Copies of this chain bind each other. A is one copy, B any other.
Amino acid sequence: MSAGSTAVRNTRQRSAVSALLAEMEGFHSAQDLHAMLRERGERVGLTTVYRTLQGLADAGEIDVMRPPGGEHLYRRCSEGHHHHLVCRACGRTVEVAGPTVESWADRVAAQHGFTDVSHTLEIFGTCPDCRPH
């Protein structure tokens, strides 16, 4: 046994995933990102993509959304914490900020003695374009 230092190593693959996420705008599934990396000529295994994304998510560097569809979607974490308004039909996503919600969640959690609080909030609806008029 040694000093249990969580040594995270800097590898080409990790950089590639980070770089890709850095220039991506919307949400993408792990498999999506993997396909894009291959197109770019980066040789990265699917397993590694999953693991890297998990690591980044753990580190709080990216957002994870779990839509009803079943696929996890990842996205580079934007500065301010925000939530998403997703169209059920076309998948269009609008970012919305909710300072009120943030503080409310924290307050409620604190009232019950909970610490290390995080939350997930997604709003689903039908956008104007997809609405049968």
- Determine whether the beta carbon of B109 is less than 8 Å from that of A118: no
Partner of A116, one of B121, B122, B125: B125
Partner of A114, one of B101, B104, B109, B126: B126
Instruction: Kindly list chain B residues whose C-beta atoms are within 8 Å of the C-beta of A101.
Output: 100-101, 104, 121
- Determine whether the beta carbon of A123 is less than 8 Å from that of B117: yes
- Complex-state Cα separation, A115 to B127, whole angstroms: 7
> A101-B101, A104-B100 are known contacts. Are A116 and B109 too (CB-CB below 8 A)?
no
Residue A9 lies at the interface, judged by CB distance under 8 Å to chain B? no
> A96-B108, A108-B85 are known contacts. Are A124 and B117 too (CB-CB below 8 A)?
yes
Task: Give min CB distance, A16 to chain B, whole Å.
Answer: 26
Interfacial residues, chain A to chain B (CB-CB below 8 A): 66, 68, 85, 87-88, 94, 96, 98, 100-101, 104-105, 108-109, 112-128, 131
